[in-house]
Amino acid sequence: MAARLLDGTRIAADIRAELTSRVENCTQQAQRPPTLGILLVGDNPASQVYVNTKSRVGDALGVNVDVVRLPATITLDAAQDVVHRFNCSAAHDGILVQSPLPSSLGPIAEQRLFEVIDPAKDVDGFHPTNVGRLAQGRALFAPCTPSAILELLDRSCINLEGRRAVVIGRSQIVGKPVALMLLHRHATVTVCHSRTRDLPALARDADILVAALGRPAFVTPEFVKPGATVIDVGINRLVDSSIVRALLPVGSPRLETFARRGSLLIGDVHPAVAETAGALTPVPGGVGPMTVAMLMVNTVRAAEKRLEAAV
């Protein structure tokens, strides 16, 4: 039997609807809308799409999204100047540095930019102070994608306490923070990565399997315990028709989508997993829209906290 799809698009819409009155209250009290400052460096196509989506969602919700776009040739000092301006601005409640940054800025550019964000405006939760608070279970802001995963599980009535969770991927943005958040919810967590031995066998122990490694269709049915909940964080754009045809069964409506658009979004989980898993997030329409919704939640929370501090 096919897995139950965890509809991130629908749940994200519910979250935005719940935020409406809070945005109105903030706007009335501050005499301006909650405002998110985004720094976008370079012309990475995926980053352009993500930032445009965040702007569109913010506009619809009544949150002002102020995007500063810099060329890839900019210096790290100049990029830090933008973050400092957001820090000092009375009109900006939250700050986000869009990843990835161009390689021209150096191997630790993201770390250096995250470190200069005011922790009280760090709505992506990557400042060392917020990372430390997350490790202690008292985060001011938790990273948006891990927050999206937990919210999606909660609103889908999937219990975490006492369950075995396996996270494939150890990135600072998803893998490590989601492992911590699952631990705080009393799951027993294993983090796997490229050097993990016998990865499929470890993954098959999971009641909840999170795939966040950035490799299209890597997680096949042999990784999945029957009935497990599978969270697919990957977003991979495929343009090779032979690869797409090999992944999808004959007659799949997604083949028509590929023929029409010339590309297809595929997660880190193979489509065949839908016949083994008990619940599964689709790509697109799963974790992605939830991540943007949680960014809006964090931005509104930041605005509310600034208003509280001003009283």
Give the residue numbers marked as catalytic.
54, 98, 124
From the number of C-beta atoms within 10 Å of its C-beta (0-12, 13-18, 19+), residue 159 rates as: middle
CB 196 within 8 A of CB 175: no
What are the strands, taking DSSP E only, across the chain? Answer: 4-5, 35-41, 64-70, 94-97, 164-168, 188-192, 208-211, 229-232, 236-238, 264-266, 279-280
Helices (H), 62-103: 76-88
What tokens were used for 162? 């006492």
**DSSP-derived 3-state class of residue 208:** strand
> In the chain, how many H helices and how many E strands?
11, 11
